[in-house]
Amino acid sequence: MNPGNTSRPLPVAPPANRRGIALDEYRLAGGFWGGLQAVNSAATLRHCLEWMERLGWTANFDRAAAGDTGGPRPGWQFSDSEVYKLVEALAWEHGRTGDAWANETLEVLVDRIAAAQADDGYLNTCYGGPGQEPRYADLSSGHELYCTGHLLQAAVARARTTGEDKLVEVARRAADHVCREFGPEGRQGICGHPEIEVGLAEFGRALGEPRYTEQARRFIDRRGRGTLEPVALLDGSYFQDDVPVVEADAWRGHAVRALYLAAGAVDVAVDTGDRELLGALERQWARTVERRTYLTGGMGSRHQDEGFGEDWELPPDRAYCETCAGIASNMVSWRLYLATGRVEYADLIERTLYNVVAASPGEDGRSFFYANPLQQRASAADVKPDQVNPRAEGGVRAPWFDVSCCPTNLARTLASWQACAASVEGDTLALLQYAPGEIRAELDGGALALRVTTAYPLEGTVHIEVVEAPGSEVELRLRVPDWAEGAALTDGGGRRAVGPGWAAVRAVFEPGAALTLELPVGPRFTWPDERIDAVRGCVAVERGPLVLCAEDLDLPGDLPIERLRVDTRAAPRAEGDGAVVRMAARTEPEAPAGRVPFRAGPQRSGWDAPPREVRLVPYHRRARRGGSAMRVFLPGAERS
């Protein structure tokens, strides 16, 4: 173990020299992510608590403590996990800001949680009590270990921000129970929803307890043996129980489950030095990103199982791209970055942050998208503004869902956003995500403090001023995104071109020294791989790290969104935080009534009307003005 890492306020602290920036080492000063973090602090945390109190999810712990569990129980069998994710978010929020309300709320919730724990450490409000199913009666769908995993992650947040307290002790007793119950002499089962693996591994790091890491390894080694009872109409791949983790070539089945499992497997591979397992996970990441990931960074193209499709199966209108899958994707990519230092993992994190994570919450922090499709065929307003919404997929953000895993997942992610923004390794500080604020990190040789000024992603200039520096030579690395052809860096040696990857400066810095990174954030056309059948012949527009989309709210009344064609000979032009493209509609004669919508002869190319300019908006801002028809990929046609 590396005790220097585990004592810092970090969600992920592997026993290696490379670590993320701690929450107290990076103070945001507004900007894109500072604004989202402020809304999360002021609104989302309270919103999540209000809904769980209203629906009785928190009161489930009170009933379990009183032994009053015989009647109907509010919430799904996994609702405990939402309370734990909120507790984790509160721990990060208090650790980052010192917010008194966050700490007081956390302590009240922990008292209620602790009262429900059994003497042997078991903790769950759905199983094991009077009138309930026995413990671990349904490992395929019961989610008991999944809930425990989220409890452990909440305890990691508390241990690393405050120290060992009542929550950490509750989690320790729960982890010890799991090790006894599912150890070598115990049950040989696994949980249908991975999460216990990543929870045990990081909790083991936080407490310096290798027994927990070893139990996480057992769960990973047992998976892929076909031991879970299949769900109707699905096979073992839904649970990632069809192929051993080390033998898989890509992620498959339920996307969030696959990604949580991969995150835990990276932790185990790193902590145990298992190069074969780590290599398998790198291979799975590469193939999944190259063939099963949307332009937004979203993952999951099937609604039936909230899961991955086959290679190149990326339909825009049926994209599921669950918000939780985007968060889980970043969990995996961040762990792989810390394990390898390779810049492509940080590139995917940026893409996913701006176009999945930021797309989910409404401006008020009290409404959310669960699924994030890349095409909305019709304007939708099917959300109940003050009720639980049964549908995860919809065209308008909803205040709460029947399954509300995404709001609490967003809350904990935004509360700890700084953790993946930079990394420290020896005498090197690497800036990975750009946001205005001040960073002060301890490097080998002393502290390096920087002031970052930028309006990124709207503008591409990132200005960095050295505020404090060691007296010895250190290295500052700046990530140049994979889309940033034509970037430039200005430092003491003048201005020079830098390509995608790293722009590095090694020097004995003096306070007042300055560097400026210029990233080309102007709009650009992006074409899909031709093997993606669903969008062949289409084009998208990106601006810096932002994916843009067309909404019918910005179209003239005689220009229906399904008939848009983009003139790709005219480059997109920047406007505001979006872009303007040259488009027109191609009007086709209506087919005779009662006929299928196909015709003989080739499809015509070109315009039927003079082209006009149409504005595109950032995808993360879709549906903020109300329900709308929307498209990211638009058919292209040159003007004839």
Average pLDDT of adjacent 10-residue blocks, the chain of 640 residues? 63 93 96 98 98 98 96 96 98 98 98 98 98 97 98 98 97 98 96 98 97 98 94 92 97 98 98 98 98 98 95 96 98 98 98 98 96 90 81 87 95 97 98 98 96 98 98 97 97 94 97 97 96 96 97 84 87 93 70 78 63 92 92 76
pLDDT of 585: 64
CA dihedral 391, 395, 397, 398 (to 10 degrees): -30
- Kind and range of the H or E run holding 268: helix 255-272
CB 69 within 8 A of CB 129: yes
pLDDT of 4: 43
Strand order in the sheet with 26-28: 26-28, 437-443, 446-454, 461-468, 514-518, 487-491, 494-498
CB 474 within 8 A of CB 509: yes
Token pair in block for residue 282:
């790198």
CB 489 within 8 A of CB 478: yes
* Residue ranges, CATH 1.50.10.10, the chain: 3-373+383-420
pLDDT of 586: 62
What distance in Å separates the CA atoms of residue 575 and residue 102, rounded to the nearest whole number?
40
CB 245 within 8 A of CB 268: no
Token pair in block for residue 459:
């503008």
- Residue 466 DSSP symbol: E
What distance in Å separates the CA atoms of residue 152 and residue 48, rounded to the nearest whole number?
20
Cα distances (Å, whole numbers) of residue 64 to 57, 71, 78, 131: 11, 11, 15, 11
Distance of CA 277 to the CA centre of its chain: 23
pLDDT of 492: 86
pTM comes to: 0.96
In this structure, CATH architecture of domain 426-518? Sandwich (2.60)
DSSP characters over 349-412: HHHHIIIIITTSB-TTSS-B-S---SEESS------TTS-B--S--SS-BS-BSS-HHHHHHHH
Q: What are the residue ranges of helices labelled H in 98-163?
A: 100-115, 144-161
* Residue ranges, CATH 2.60.40, the chain: 426-518
Please state, as a whole number, how many other Cβ atoms lie within 10 Å of the Cβ of residue 537.
12
Token pair in block for residue 159:
């241990």
Which fold does the domain 3-373+383-420 belong to in CATH?
A: Glycosyltransferase (1.50.10)
What distance in Å separates the CA atoms of residue 495 and residue 610, rounded to the nearest whole number?
44
Which neighbouring-strand residues pair with 630?
376, 551
CB 150 within 8 A of CB 84: yes
- The letter for the amino acid at 552 is D
